[in-house]
Structure 1
Amino acid sequence: MDSFSAHELIWTGSYTADSGGSGIGIGAVAPAADGTLRWLGVAAEADSPSFVAVHPSLAAVYAVAEQARTVRAYRRAGAFGLEPAGPAWPAGDAACHVAVDPSGRFLVVCCWGDGQVLFYELDAEGQITSRTAAAASRDPYGDAPGAQASGGGTPDREDPDRDRAKRPSRAHAALMLSDERVMTTDLGHDLLRIWNVRSGPVPGLDLDHEVVMPRGSGPRHLVQHPGGNVFVVTEYSVEVAVAMESPGSADFRLGHVGPATAGGALPGDAAAEIALAGDGRHAYIGVRGSNRIGVLQVVDGGTALRAVADVPSGGNWPRHHLVGNGWLHVAHERSGDVVTFPLDPESGLPGAPAGRLDVASPTALVPARAGLTRRG
C-alpha cells in the first residue's frame, strides 16, 4: 500500500480566517517511526490554501487561495519551508482544487464558485507563464424539473440548486488520466468532462466528450484505478460511480453506481474524498456529517465497488484523507486534527486509531514527493 516513504513530508492545506478557519497557511507534517504523523511547522503563510499539488520533477508546490481567487507557485526552502516563486495568478470564484500534469507542462485549477476550469502553462523552472479558460459547462438537464438524487443524503440541504430551473456550474476537481487527457468533475451540473490538451501558440484544454451522471448526484472527487477505469465519489447522493472506457472507443461511459457506505447515507451526509490503496484492491471514502470512512472492495477487475464496512473517522468533518505505507490518515476540518489508522494488509480494514495530530482547519493531505498523489 505504499504511497509515500516513511520519512517523507506531507503538505497540509487549510482554511484560514478569510474562510472562517483557524489555519495559517500550508503546513508540513511527516510520518514518525510508528506510522503516526508529527507536526513540523507552517511551511508558508497563505490565505486559505485549500488544495495543494506538487511538480513531478522540480521542488515546486502549487496552491489555490480559495477566497482570494488565485493560484500560486512555491519553491522549497530549507528543511520543510516554502517561499513564493512568482506572483499569484488570478483564478476563479472559490478556486478549490489544483492538479499538475505528470510531465510538468501545466496546471489545471477547478473553481467551485463560478464553474471555471482553468489551464496554466508552466515553464522549465515550474513557474506559471500563461492562463487560459476552458469552455464553460452547460447543464445537460437543462430546464428539466427537479428530481431526487439516486442515493441518500439530504438533497434540500446539500444541493439547494436541484429544484431550480437553472443550476450553476460547480467545477470541483481535475484528474490527470493515464492516456494524457484530463478529466474534471462538475458537481453542480452532474458531469464528468474529458479534455484533450492543446499545444501550440495558445495551449489549453479542448473538450473531448462528457459523461452525464445521475441528476443531483454531485460528482466531487475522483481517482483512476490501475486497470484504467475512474472511480468517482458523489457528494450529494453519497455514492461511488465507475467511469469506464467504451469498447472500441476511448470515450468513457457511466458504469456501476452504488453506495459509498455499507450502512447507507444518513440525513446531513456529504461525501468528500476517495482514495485507493496502492494495490488497487480497496477504496476509502470520507463522509462528512455522520463522520465515517466507507471501506469498499474493488471487484470484477475494477468495474465495480462493493461497500464492506463503515468506520468512524475519529473526528468532525473528514474533508480529505491519504492512504499509504499501510496507514490511513484522515484530516478533519472542523475538529482540527488528523487521525491515523493502521490498515489490515489483507482485509484493507482500518484498525483502532493509532494517533491524533492537532492541525488547524486541515483541508488536504498531499505527499511532497511528486507522482504519489495519483496512486492514492
Structure 2
Amino acid sequence: MAELVWTGSYTADSNGNGKGIGALSLGADGHVASLGLATAADSPSFLAIHPELPVVYAVEEHAQTVRAYRPSGASGLDPLGGTWPAGPAACHVAVDPQGRFLVVACWGDGQVVLYELDHDGGITSRHSAAPAVDPYGAGPGGEARPSRAHASLMLPDGRIMTTDLGHDLLRVWRYVPGEGLVADHQVVLPKGSGPRHLTRHSSGTVFVVTEYSIEVATVRPSPDGTFELAAIGPATAEGAFDGDSAAEIGLSPDGRHAYVGVRGSNRICVLRVTEDGTRLEPLADVPSGGNWPRHHLVRAGWLHVAHERSNDVVTFRLHPETGLPEGPISRVETGSPTALLAAGHLDGS
C-alpha cells in the first residue's frame, strides 16, 4: 500500500523553486511519484503532523509565521485558521505527542515559541520562551555570538529539548499550560560545534548532529533526569571536507543505524548504534544522489533524501543487515525540497 508524504520547500521569497507544500506517493516497492502541489505557501520549510488528528503544521520561514492545515481530497491541504506570527527565519516545528501544543524554533533570532492547540488541532495562543545566554560569553573584542534556535524534540516524560546552533546549547524545558515553556536545565556542547537536529533512541539516548563540526553528540539522562553529554564523535567515516555542513539525523526503525546528511560533499553517512544505544560508530559514507541533502526520511527498508538544490527526492534501498544504502533506485523532481513528512497511507489510514 502506498504511503503519503508531504514535502516542505523553499519558494521564490527564499530564492527557491518550490510552490508550497507538495505531496508524494511512496510505494511498497520503493517507487516514488509526485502527486503535485498540496497547497500553495511561502517557503513552508519544515512540517509536522498532529499525533491524533489529520492536521499538518508548517513554518513559513521568510514570512516568519506558522500555520495549520487539514487534508482536502486525496492529496491536498486547506488552511485551518489563519497564520500566526513566529520569528525571523522560523525553521522548525514539532508537535507534542499529546496534541496540546507545538513548538517553533527560529534561526534568525534564537526564539523558541510555544503555541497551544484546541481539540480540533487549531492554534489558540502564543508564548515566547526565555532567550538563550551564550555559555561561552562574548569574544575577545566583546562581540556576541547570535542565538540560533534550530529544532525541538519531544521527550517521553513531557519535557522538550531544543537546540541552539549559535550558542552550542541544548535546552530542556517544561510545559506549563497558559504560560508556555519554563527552563528546566541545559547541556553545553563544545564551542563552535553548532547543534542542529536531534533524534531519540529507544534506549533513552539523544543523538544530536552538529552542523559546523560535522559530529554527533551523545546525550544521556542521569538518574535525576538531567541530561549530560556522554560523548561526541565524527559523523563521517571519511572525515569532513571544506564547505561541508551537516543537516539531518535519522534512525532506522529498529534503532540499529543512524543516518546523517552532509551538504557540500553531498553524502549520507551511516553510523552503527552500539547494542546498548549509548554510542555511534561511523560505518560508511555514500553519495546522496543529488545536491544539498537537506533532509531525509528513513523507513523500513528505504531511505528517501530531499535535495534542496537539485530539486529532487532520491530513494535508496537499505541493506537489511549492514544498513547501507543501495542504489539510488528512484528519483522524483520537486522544487527545492526542504523537509519530508510521512502522513500515513493514501487511503487515509
Given the two structures, how large is their TM-score scaled by the length of structure 2? 0.97
In the TM superposition, residue 303 of structure 1 has moved relative to its aligned partner by: 1.1
Which residue does 2:244 correspond to in 1?
Answer: 269
Which residue does 2:306 correspond to in 1?
Answer: 331
* Matched-pair contact (CA < 8 Å) for 1:62–1:98: yes
Q: Please give the alpha-carbon distance, in whole angstroms, between the structure 1 residues aligned to 2:171 and 2:219.
A: 11
Q: Please give the alpha-carbon distance, in whole angstroms, between the structure 2 residues aligned to 1:271 and 1:254.
A: 19
Give yes or no for the alignment of 1:189 onto 2:167. Answer: yes
Question: What is the one-letter code of the residue matched to 2:182?
Answer: D
Q: Please give the alpha-carbon distance, in whole angstroms, between the structure 2 residues aligned to 1:308 and 1:29.
A: 30
What secondary structure is seen at the aligned counterpart in 2 of 1:254? strand
- Relative distance call for 1:332 and 1:197 in structure 2 (3 A) is same
Which residue does 2:151 correspond to in 1?
Answer: 173
What secondary structure is seen at the aligned counterpart in 2 of 1:18? helix
Aligned counterpart for 1:220 among listed residues 196, 199, 202: 196
Which residue does 2:96 correspond to in 1?
Answer: 101
Aligned counterpart for 2:12 among listed residues 7, 17, 22: 17
Which residue does 1:156 correspond to in 2?
Answer: none
In the TM superposition, residue 144 of structure 1 has moved relative to its aligned partner by: 4.6
Q: CA RMSD in A?
A: 1.2
Aligned counterpart for 1:205 among listed residues 157, 162, 181: 181
In the TM superposition, residue 203 of structure 1 has moved relative to its aligned partner by: 3.2
Alignment of 1:122-161 (within 5 A): 122-145=117-140
Aligned counterpart for 1:290 among listed residues 242, 257, 265: 265
Q: Please give the alpha-carbon distance, in whole angstroms, between the structure 1 residues aligned to 2:270 and 2:284.
A: 5
What secondary structure is seen at the aligned counterpart in 1 of 2:91? strand
Q: Please give the alpha-carbon distance, in whole angstroms, between the structure 1 residues aligned to 2:32 and 2:217.
A: 31
Which residue does 1:29 correspond to in 2?
Answer: 24
In the TM superposition, residue 369 of structure 1 has moved relative to its aligned partner by: 3.6
5+ residue gaps, structure 2, are: none
Greater fraction of residues in strand: 2
What secondary structure is seen at the aligned counterpart in 2 of 1:126? coil
Q: Please give the alpha-carbon distance, in whole angstroms, between the structure 1 residues aligned to 2:179 and 2:275.
A: 38
* Matched-pair contact (CA < 8 Å) for 1:47–1:67: yes
Q: Please give the alpha-carbon distance, in whole angstroms, between the structure 1 residues aligned to 2:28 and 2:268.
A: 25
What secondary structure is seen at the aligned counterpart in 2 of 1:351? strand
Given the two structures, how large is their TM-score scaled by the length of structure 1? 0.90
Q: Please give the alpha-carbon distance, in whole angstroms, between the structure 2 residues aligned to 1:164 and 1:231.
A: 33
What secondary structure is seen at the aligned counterpart in 1 of 2:22? strand
Question: What is the one-letter code of the residue matched to 1:238?
Answer: I
User: What does the per-residue CA deviation read over 1:132-174, in whole Å, with 9 as the maximum and x for residues that have no partner?
Assistant: 00110000000254xxxxxxxxxxxxxxxxx972000000001
Which residue does 1:252 correspond to in 2?
Answer: 227
* Matched-pair contact (CA < 8 Å) for 2:272–2:280: yes
Give yes or no for the alignment of 1:88 onto 2:83. Answer: yes
Q: Please give the alpha-carbon distance, in whole angstroms, between the structure 1 residues aligned to 2:122 and 2:147.
A: 29
* Matched-pair contact (CA < 8 Å) for 1:336–1:359: yes
Aligned counterpart for 1:116 among listed residues 111, 114, 117: 111
In the TM superposition, residue 33 of structure 1 has moved relative to its aligned partner by: 4.1
5+ residue gaps, structure 1, are: 1-5, 146-162, 371-376
Question: What is the one-letter code of the residue matched to 1:343?
Answer: L
Q: Please give the alpha-carbon distance, in whole angstroms, between the structure 2 residues aligned to 1:141 and 1:327.
A: 41
What secondary structure is seen at the aligned counterpart in 1 of 2:339? strand
Q: Please give the alpha-carbon distance, in whole angstroms, between the structure 1 residues aligned to 2:219 and 2:311.
A: 34
Q: Please give the alpha-carbon distance, in whole angstroms, between the structure 1 residues aligned to 2:28 and 2:85.
A: 41
Which residue does 1:241 correspond to in 2?
Answer: 217
| % identical aligned pairs | 65
* Matched-pair contact (CA < 8 Å) for 2:105–2:150: yes
Number of aligned residue pairs: give it: 345
Q: Please give the alpha-carbon distance, in whole angstroms, between the structure 1 residues aligned to 2:174 and 2:323.
A: 35
Q: Please give the alpha-carbon distance, in whole angstroms, between the structure 2 residues aligned to 1:322 and 1:260.
A: 18
- Relative distance call for 1:64 and 1:164 in structure 2 (3 A) is farther
* Matched-pair contact (CA < 8 Å) for 1:341–1:351: yes
Aligned counterpart for 1:357 among listed residues 332, 335, 349: 332
* Matched-pair contact (CA < 8 Å) for 2:3–2:27: no
- Relative distance call for 1:300 and 1:32 in structure 2 (3 A) is closer
* Matched-pair contact (CA < 8 Å) for 1:342–1:354: yes
* Matched-pair contact (CA < 8 Å) for 1:142–1:165: no
